[in-house]
Amino acid sequence: MTNHWIDFANSDVVLVMGSNAAENHPISFKWVTKAMEKGGKLISVDPRFTKTSAKADIYARLRSGTDIPFLGGMIKYILDNDLIDKFYVQNYTNASFLINKDFKFEDGLFSGYNEEKRSYDKATWAYQKDANGVIMKDPSMQDPNCVYQLLKKHYSRYDIDKVVEVTGTTKDELLKVYKTYTSTSGPAKSGTILYAMGWTQHTVGTQNIRTMSMIQTLLGNMGVAGGGVNALRGESNVQGSTDYGLLFHILPGYLKFPLGSQATLADFLKATTPTTAEPQSLNWWSNTPKYMVSLLKAFYGEAATKENDFGYGWLPKGDVGANYSWLNLFDQMSKGKFTGFFAWGMNPACSSANAGKVRKALGELDWLVNVNLFPNETGQFWKGPGMDPSKIKTAVFMLPCAASVEKEGSVSNSGRWAQWRYKAANPPGEAMPDAEIIEGLVHRVKELYKKEGGAFPAPILSLAWDYEENGHLSVRKIAREINGYYTQDVPGADGAVFKKGSQLANFVGLKDDGTTACGNWLYSGSYPEAGNMMMRRDNNDASGIGLYSNWSWCWPLNRRIIYNRASVDLDGNPRRPELPVIKWDGAKWVGDIADNAAPPMSDKEKGKLPFIMTSEGVAKLFGPGLAEGPFPEHYEPLECPVENNAFSSQRINPTVKLFNEKGEGEGKDVYLTCDPRYPFVCSTYRVVEHWQTGLMTRWNKQLVELAPQNFVEMSKELAALKGIKNGEMVTIKSPRGQIDAVAMVTSRFKPFTVKGQTVHQVGTTWHFGWCAPVNGGDTANLLTPTVGDANTMIPESKAFMVNIERKG
Amino acid sequence: MAYAKLFDSSKCIACRGCQKACKNWNQDPAEKTTNRGTHQNPPDLSHQTRTVVRFKEQEGGDLGIIWTFFKDSCRHCIEPACKMIADGTDEQAVVITDTGAVIYNERTAKVEGMNCGYNIPKQEKDGAPYVKCTLCFDRITNGLQPACVTTCPTGALEFGKREDIVKLALQRVEEAKKRYPDAHISSDYKEVNYIQVFHYKEDMFEMYADREKQQKIKMASRRDLLNPKKAAGMISKLLG
């Protein structure tokens, strides 16, 4: 989130789209309810009428997978009716920037497409620059090659009739949403977007979010109280896991993962440190060398020296162009490319798209270590449905681990707050905290390398691993390393000395010369000399806008609303004085921690642009970073009920990776679109009573009492068509698998009219699995396809095709 | 001190935290349930389930669908019909406390002709004690709020002094009317300590309560206070 949970209460319009917040994030509604008590409006956009819709002022339905037309239509509405926040767009976005004259968009494709590689050469997706490398601009925004004009041209195609035809929304509903949401344009009002997996789990997931980010930028809603783009995270600490580089393409603090082509630290830093010639751009990522070297110092300690590139050569490197995401890993596993696998706090046999493929792939392993609270479908895959244990070679080890309340540590919530939690009880039996399991492994692996050598022992043997305190692994010691410390005495201002081993105040002190070590620059400041800021529990709010700055700690630098310099005018005065986030008092910023201490923009010499994380210093309406193109464009889901994309002849996202197999059947990578055998759109989702694959909830009788069995929601019209009665057992089939579920016939689903055709949509949950409870049903991921977003590889679990029949 | 509890349907998101908090505090076991084509579970109140969130969906309204949630549990009547009936058998079986909580005990097992216009009291089998919400008597007399109220994330459940809760309820009606013109307070609010604000015309209360029946029970009980068997007979006759 750019903002935080409590900040929803500051919104004038809350749009919940791609999320069912009332169901899956009930606490969010504490704050949404407060916004509504103050007269704020709630809009719910969802294929199904949900608990969120039940509380909404406006509800609009759309066919799953058509968010870009829905939002693209809103961009057109904003531009046609001149509803942009002019000051904001002119000063804080790249709307006036000129784009390369060779940049083109024709029939669904941007310039530079390579059909064979299913990817783009992005050379033309670039700015025009002058001899000094400064981007050329047209402040009047009239130049046909300026971003504003290109944007206008691109979205001129998203006219309301076409949008309605594709999304299945009624024109009346659509206009109500557009009118209400765009009422937040300008400084007087703010609108917020709450989204979740309903946006990410599509082949165009990242572009769904980008489209909304553009709307927020056009309306001046970024950086302000009650605004922003807010991802409601599906797990209590998933924000923390990405912050710490748990994903394949990043290191801690969103530093880039090194590639094989970057042989030396200098190569890596050259490739990953952006530069800028823009006079007022801070270009925060220019600090990359400091963060990277300090990270290497944290990894390798004294073994990391300037002479050996601080151990950069010991880091694993990715192959250029390779993608190590989940879907690819399991694809490789299914082809026998792995010998062993740690399933750590995961249940891929239920959570993975096309789970049938994963269940088979696990049988290709020599060994599998399952680290979890309970035995699950992954650890027991060999005795699951359709498996013959006598034919499976995989040796499975179960390592029981401690639950979150049985250990100490920090949890980072969606609003970027790192909150310290204390141990409430000892783990049962032999269960251990994950960190202690990892520590045991590290020591044993190091021991083996010491004894036996091996192909490349240096990365393991050089690893600094000193987290013991009083004979036990100490997560507080790890937290101190994450904050960062001085590796030697360093002179400070006015003759003061930062002593070797003392904590850094925050990342501003980080150096690229090896004198500082820092496990994650983003969290630097969370544990300074003064102590563990994440333990703070002061619930006084001096800000008056719900920042609660002394409750826990939030990255970066305890800044509660990021890009907050966009909330002020050029002189640093809040554009909305009654909800001030920051204010320049003539010498310094007051309020929230400002996005950098530099003076406001009107100081031509020292003033800085608000969007410090982009090299341009401004928000990018034209964003060349993503795989599909600089402007979001509609492509149909891989499996969909329409033969043609109404917007171009590119039916599906031209840059997604396709896993194709011949035939049809359980766990196969097959897709069928517009196939009469699979006529209905299906989405998977969650309910409040269960969590993810249900491992922590399916064993809990109290929760199973509330939600005992998987179900499939469908319209009354579809039920009548298929002769299905409410409450009876039905079978849902996709080209990849089938599950049984209880039919829930409801008016909350309605058939869509798409291009004059009736399209039915159904929905089911992925919480259940064959282990427990009895008669609960199995996971809906046996149905979902192996296909991911072109940028993130998040699977398309929100839109695929199924059939549904009474269980015979 | 007389207390009361408020349920405001305009703020309820049916997270059912209240249902679980109730079972947790009262150590009531989970029931074995199945999905019957609705999110509502368990299907009804029982000797193991003192409160249940009822789901109702209808077509209509501004959004095309009206999906309402209602937390059903004992109304803690100021003049409880169950108490009138029970007194015929045993004046100690149902106790009205000065907190406003109507409390049952083991002795309700012997009460003859137990009845309630809201269909609240439940027993495991004939001859077993009746079970229902206690208004968390043990919590509220120790400075705590009822378990269900503590867990509610949106303010759909509130607890306090009766006069404050009545005031709050009437204020909530006025607030809700800005969004939902048909918002109203439950018609029995002067007679009970569990008060509701409903935001749609369709009164969930009317669906799960029979006020006429409640009055008849009370009348019959009054007439035959000293003869419980006769009272029970009269009640079943009155109710047809």
Q: Which residues does chain A have within 8 Å of residue B67's beta carbon, measured at their own beta carbons?
A: 49, 51, 53-54, 748
Neighbour count for residue A679 (Cβ, 10 Å): 17
CA angle A663, A668, A670 (to 5 degrees): 60
| CA atoms of B120 and B79, how far apart (whole Å) | 15
Could you give the C-alpha distances from A21 to A51, A189, A348, A560, in angstroms and in order? 8, 22, 25, 21
Mean pLDDT, rounded, for A387-409: 97
Asked whether residue A356 falls in the same domain as residue A283, the answer is no
Neighbour count for residue A339 (Cβ, 10 Å): 9
Query: What is residue A299's three-state secondary structure?
Result: helix
Pair A680, A718: CB distance under 8 Å: yes
**CB spacing of A26 vs B33 below 8 angstroms:** no
How many angstroms away from the CA of B113 is the closest CA of chain A? Answer: 31
Asked whether residue A105 falls in the same domain as residue A180, the answer is yes
Nearest to A727 among B10, B16, B36 (CB): B36
| CA atoms of B185 and B199, how far apart (whole Å) | 9
How many angstroms away from the CA of B78 is the closest CA of chain A? Answer: 31
N- to C-terminal Cα separation, chain A: 47
In the numeric block, the tokens 């994330």 are attached to B153
| CA atoms of A618 and A624, how far apart (whole Å) | 14
Asked whether residue A477 falls in the same domain as residue A437, the answer is no
Asked whether residue A303 falls in the same domain as residue A434, the answer is no
For residue A755, being part of any structural domain is answered with: yes
Percent of chain A with pLDDT over 70: 100
Could you give the C-alpha distances from B85 to B105, B113, B236, in angstroms and in order? 15, 7, 12
If you classify domain B81-132+210-238 with CATH, what class do you get? alpha beta
pLDDT digits (tens, 9 = 90+) for A595-611: 999 999 999 999 999 99
Pair A785, A353: CB distance under 8 Å: yes
Q: Which residues does chain B have within 8 Å of residue A727's beta carbon, measured at their own beta carbons?
A: 35-38
User: Could you tell me which chain A residue has the CA closest to the CA of B179?
Assistant: A57
**CB spacing of B13 vs A26 below 8 angstroms:** yes
Is B81-132+210-238 in the same CATH topology as B3-28+40-76+138-208? yes
Neighbour count for residue A124 (Cβ, 10 Å): 17
User: Could you tell me which chain A residue has the CA closest to the CA of B49?
Assistant: A705
For residue A754, being part of any structural domain is answered with: yes
Please name which of A94, A298, A53, A93 lies closest in space to residue A177, comparing C-alpha atoms. A53
User: Could you tell me which chain A residue has the CA closest to the CA of B155?
Assistant: A30
Asked whether residue A313 falls in the same domain as residue A336, the answer is no
Q: Answer whether residue B233 shows pLDDT above 80.
A: no
Domain boundaries, chain B: 3-28+40-76+138-208, 81-132+210-238
Strand partners, A114: A119
| CA atoms of A310 and A288, how far apart (whole Å) | 14
**CB spacing of B29 vs A743 below 8 angstroms:** no
Neighbour count for residue A105 (Cβ, 10 Å): 17
Could you give the C-alpha distances from B180 to A282, A413, B11, in angstroms and in order? 49, 34, 12
Pair A715, A750: CB distance under 8 Å: yes
Q: What are the backbone angles phi and psi of residue A195, rounded to the nearest 5°?
A: -130, 165
- The answer for residues whose C-beta is within 8 angstroms of residue A48's C-beta and 6 or more apart is A61, A683, A713, A748, A749, A761, A763
Mean pLDDT, rounded, for A488-509: 94
Does B171 contact chain A (CB < 8 Å)?
no
Please name which of A624, A110, A118 lies closest in space to residue A321, comparing C-alpha atoms. A118
How many angstroms away from the CA of A638 is the closest CA of chain B? Answer: 31
How many angstroms away from the CA of A83 is the closest CA of chain B? Answer: 26
CATH of the domain at A407: 3.40.50.740
For residue A674, being part of any structural domain is answered with: no
Asked whether residue A212 falls in the same domain as residue A289, the answer is no
Does B172 contact chain A (CB < 8 Å)?
no
Asked whether residue A386 falls in the same domain as residue A431, the answer is yes
- Which residue in A28, A686, A747 has the most chain B C-beta atoms within 10 A of its own C-beta, making it the best mutation to test that interface? A747
With bands split at pLDDT 50, 70 and 90, how would you rate the model's confidence at B235?
Answer: low
Q: Answer whether residue B204 shows pLDDT above 60.
A: no
The 3-state secondary structure of A136-156 reads: CECCCCCCCCEHHHHHHHHHC
- The token pair that represents A291 in the structure block: 């963060």
Pair A284, A552: CB distance under 8 Å: no
- Torsion sign (Cα): A245, A248, A254, A256: positive
- The token pair that represents A451 in the structure block: 């004894």
Q: What are the backbone angles phi and psi of residue A483, rounded to the nearest 5°?
A: -60, -40
Q: Which residues does chain A have within 8 Å of residue B32's beta carbon, measured at their own beta carbons?
A: 705, 708
pLDDT number for residue A666: 79
Nearest to A54 among B42, B67, B154 (CB): B67
Mean pLDDT, rounded, for A485-496: 92
Asked whether residue A345 falls in the same domain as residue A309, the answer is no
With bands split at pLDDT 50, 70 and 90, how would you rate the model's confidence at B239?
Answer: low
- The token pair that represents A429 in the structure block: 């039996």
pLDDT number for residue A492: 86
Query: What is residue A186's three-state secondary structure?
Result: coil
| CA atoms of A369 and A540, how far apart (whole Å) | 46
Rg (alpha carbons) of chain B, rounded to whole number: 18
CATH number of B3-28+40-76+138-208: 3.30.70.20
For residue A646, being part of any structural domain is answered with: no
Give the pairing type, strands B102-104 and B94-96: antiparallel
Biggest CA–CA distance in chain B, Å, is 54
How many angstroms away from the CA of B236 is the closest CA of chain A? Answer: 34
Pair A748, A48: CB distance under 8 Å: yes
Mean pLDDT, rounded, for A682-707: 97
Asked whether residue A501 falls in the same domain as residue A580, the answer is no
pLDDT digits (tens, 9 = 90+) for A364-379: 999 999 999 999 999 9
Asked whether residue A201 falls in the same domain as residue A284, the answer is no
Rg (alpha carbons) of chain A, rounded to whole number: 27
| CA atoms of A399 and A387, how far apart (whole Å) | 23
Percent of chain A with pLDDT over 90: 97
Does B56 contact chain A (CB < 8 Å)?
no
Please name which of A173, A243, A185, A189 lies closest in space to residue A1, comparing C-alpha atoms. A243
pLDDT number for residue B232: 65
Pair A61, A49: CB distance under 8 Å: yes
pLDDT number for residue A714: 98
How many angstroms away from the CA of B11 is the closest CA of chain A? Answer: 7
| CA atoms of A61 and A46, how far apart (whole Å) | 5
Query: What is residue A18's three-state secondary structure?
Result: coil
Please name which of A728, A751, A740 lies closest in space to residue A778, comparing C-alpha atoms. A740
With bands split at pLDDT 50, 70 and 90, how would you rate the model's confidence at B209?
Answer: confident
CA angle A683, A381, A767 (to 5 degrees): 30
How many angstroms away from the CA of A227 is the closest CA of chain B? Answer: 21
Asked whether residue A391 falls in the same domain as residue A485, the answer is no
**CB spacing of A744 vs B24 below 8 angstroms:** no
pLDDT number for residue A769: 98
User: Could you tell me which chain A residue has the CA closest to the CA of B24?
Assistant: A702
A303 lies in which domain range?
Answer: 250-259+269-319+468-533
Q: What are the backbone angles phi and psi of residue A759, rounded to the nearest 5°?
A: -120, 125
For residue A549, being part of any structural domain is answered with: no
pLDDT digits (tens, 9 = 90+) for A113-130: 999 999 999 999 999 999
Mean pLDDT, rounded, for B47-67: 94
Does B38 contact chain A (CB < 8 Å)?
yes
Please name which of A346, A484, A474 lies closest in space to residue A408, comparing C-alpha atoms. A474
| CA atoms of A310 and A459, how far apart (whole Å) | 12
Pair A671, A735: CB distance under 8 Å: yes
Mean pLDDT, rounded, for A686-706: 96
For residue A460, being part of any structural domain is answered with: no
Per DSSP, helices labelled H in A636-792 are 701-706, 716-722
Q: Answer whether residue B216 shows pLDDT above 90.
A: no
Q: Answer whether residue B226 shows pLDDT above 60.
A: no
For residue A55, being part of any structural domain is answered with: yes
Q: What are the backbone angles phi and psi of residue B159, rounded to the nearest 5°?
A: -140, 145
Work out the mean pLDDT of chain A and round it to a whole number: 97
Burial (CB count within 10 angstroms: exposed 0-12, middle 13-18, buried 19+), residue B106: exposed
Asked whether residue A332 falls in the same domain as residue A275, the answer is no
Mean pLDDT, rounded, for A753-758: 93
Instruction: Supply the ipTM of this predicted assembly.
Output: 0.95
Pair A763, A797: CB distance under 8 Å: no
Neighbour count for residue A222 (Cβ, 10 Å): 27
Work out the mean pLDDT of chain B and round it to a whole number: 91
| CA atoms of A514 and A295, how far apart (whole Å) | 10
**CB spacing of B41 vs A36 below 8 angstroms:** no
Nearest to A708 among B17, B19, B34 (CB): B34
Q: Answer whether residue B165 shows pLDDT above 90.
A: yes
Tell me how many domains chain A contains. 5
Nearest to A51 among B13, B30, B59 (CB): B13
For residue A296, being part of any structural domain is answered with: yes
Neighbour count for residue B143 (Cβ, 10 Å): 6
| CA atoms of B9 and B175, how far apart (whole Å) | 12
**CB spacing of A27 vs B37 below 8 angstroms:** no
User: Could you tell me which chain A residue has the CA closest to the CA of B43?
Assistant: A706
pLDDT number for residue A808: 73
